Amino acid sequence: MALPKRRFSRSRTLKKRTHKKVDPLSLGVCTHCQSLILPHHICQVCGFYDGKQIIEIKAKKKKEKKKQ
């Protein structure tokens, strides 16, 4: 297996790695409930996509603490 004759300098190593980064998520706004959503995904809050209701989201019920 081939080996490099000389060590890469730090600047050359960092130049090689410039494309290895994490891009921030691009979030859109739901047209129905104004919450943040991923593009081309159904809204997790209201179930709308492209102005139409695709799925029905059940309302979350708060659990009541039992008094003893």
The predicted structure's pLDDT at residue 47: 92
CB-CB contact of 47 with 32 (8 Å): no
> How deeply is 43 buried, as exposed, middle or buried, from its count of CB atoms within 10 A (0-12, 13-18, 19+)?
buried
Q: What pLDDT, in 10s, does the model give residues 42-56? A: 999 999 999 889 998
Instruction: Sort strands 36-37 and 48-49 into parallel, antiparallel or unpaired.
Output: unpaired
pTM recorded for the entire structure:
0.56
